[in-house]
């Protein structure tokens, strides 16, 4: 979330956690149904066992995409979301993918301005 908040993209971020009121200066919401907007993307940092319920909540909240972070795979959650017309991403990190597409991912950890996996020259 810190990365996305500091990136050049204009994202509106709404953290959801029933035990917190604020995360990194952002108001935190107790559940997806308490968000003040329809989320485009629900980015999940929970155990795979929790994901089918989160998929249902994402559908009810009107989300367009269910994104399960790196290391999280739930075929059941994916099937629930896909059946409802959501896009699904599993086992991927939003930070890594954003940096890769924005040209900011490099082995040395800095922006090369190149979007490619091939070495120059």
| Structural domain that includes position 49 | 2-102
What's the number of domains the chain is made of?
1
Does 77 reside within a domain?
Answer: yes
Does 16 reside within a domain?
Answer: yes
Return the pLDDT at 76.
98
Average the pLDDT over 96-110 and give the result: 65
Instruction: Report the relative pairing of strands 22-23 and 26-27 from DSSP bridges.
Output: antiparallel
Phi, psi angle pair for 33, to nearest 5°: -75, -5
Q: Is 21 exposed, middle or buried (0-12, 13-18, 19+ CB in 10 A)?
A: exposed
Does 66 reside within a domain?
Answer: yes
Question: pLDDT digit string (tens) for 6-49?
Answer: 776 677 999 999 999 999 899 999 999 999 999 999 999 999 99
Tokens of 104: 């900011």
The CATH number assigned to the domain holding 92 equals 3.40.50.720
As a whole number of angstroms, the distance between CA 104 and CA 6 comes to 13
Please state the pTM of the whole predicted model. 0.81
Question: pLDDT digit string (tens) for 53-99?
Answer: 999 999 999 999 999 999 999 999 999 999 999 999 999 998 888 77
């Amino acid at each position: 979330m810190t990365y996305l908040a500091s990136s050049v993209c204009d994202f509106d971020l709404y953290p959801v956690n029933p035990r917190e009121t604020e995360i990194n200066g952002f108001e935190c919401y107790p559940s997806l149904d308490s968000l003040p907007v329809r989320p485009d993307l629900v980015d999940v940092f929970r155990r795979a066992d929790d994901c089918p319920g989160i998929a249902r909540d994402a559908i009810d909240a009107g989300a367009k995409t269910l994104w399960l972070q790196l290391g999280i795979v739930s075929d059941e959650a994916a099937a629930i979301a896909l059946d409802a017309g959501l896009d699904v991403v599993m086992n991927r990190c939003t930070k890594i993918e954003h940096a890769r597409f924005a040209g900011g991912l490099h082995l040395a950890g800095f922006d090369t301005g190149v979007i490619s996996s091939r070495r120059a020259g």
